[in-house]
Amino acid sequence: MRLNQIFKREYINADLSAQGKDEALAELVNVVMDGGLQLNTSAIIDILKQRESLGSTGIGEGVAIPHGKISALNEIIVAFGRSRNGIAYHSLDGKPVHLFFLLLAPENSAGQHLKILAKISKMLKDVNFRNKLLEAKSRDELYKIIIEQESACIV
């Protein structure tokens, strides 16, 4: 499955204003809702918080990939958020998070969910990619950078 099939420009927030983890999760879920998804916002946030209670999805290097399985969802959704100031997120390396990829998947999509998670993780290992995301000027530029990186990254 290609990111351009599940990731839309509307699912990008280029300037998150959250100060903490819970606010960041809410802001990321809201960007998906504003982009057209019609589900219970608080239920999704609760699922993401439950996942975070198992261990932080802040993987280090200024990156977090919050994710969860949503029973009412019919397709995998990927969203992106960027915080210029960084957000205290209890990351594995203890550093603030600037780049967020939110992954929401139907409950019965374990294989696809894990493949997308692996693809995003691999893409984010590239420091040049992370820097391009931090420096991008617009939502359109962010979208283009992400889609191009997927094409360049074979998983």
pLDDT at 72: 85
What proportion of the chain, given as a percentage, has pLDDT over 70? 98
Helix (H) or strand (E) holding 140: helix 139-152
Which SS3 state, helix, strand or coil, does residue 67 take? strand
Q: Which helix (H) or strand (E) holds 132?
A: helix 127-135
In CATH, which of 3.40.930.10, 1.10.3720.10, 3.30.70.100, 3.40.50.970 is domain 7-152? 3.40.930.10
* 66-to-51, 75, 110, 120 alpha-carbon distances in Å: 8, 17, 15, 11
* Count of C-beta atoms within a 10 Å radius of residue 155: 11
**Catalytic residues, which ones?**
67
Does residue 153 have a pLDDT over 90? no
**β-strand partners of 82:** 99
- Token code pair at residue 108: 């019965």
| 154: confidence class by pLDDT, cuts 50, 70, 90 | low
Would you list the domain boundaries of the chain?
A: 7-152
Tokens of 40: 């219970």
Indicate the pTM of the whole model. 0.94
Task: Please give the pLDDT value at position 125.
Answer: 93
Q: Rg (Cα) of the chain, in Å, rounded?
A: 14
What is the reported pLDDT for 13?
96
Residue type, 32: V
Q: Whose CA is closest to 44, among 103, 126, 86?
A: 103
pLDDT in tens, 85-132: 999 999 999 999 999 999 999 988 878 888 999 999 999 999 999 999
- Find the Cα–Cα–Cα–Cα dihedral 119, 125, 128, 130, rounded to 10°: 80
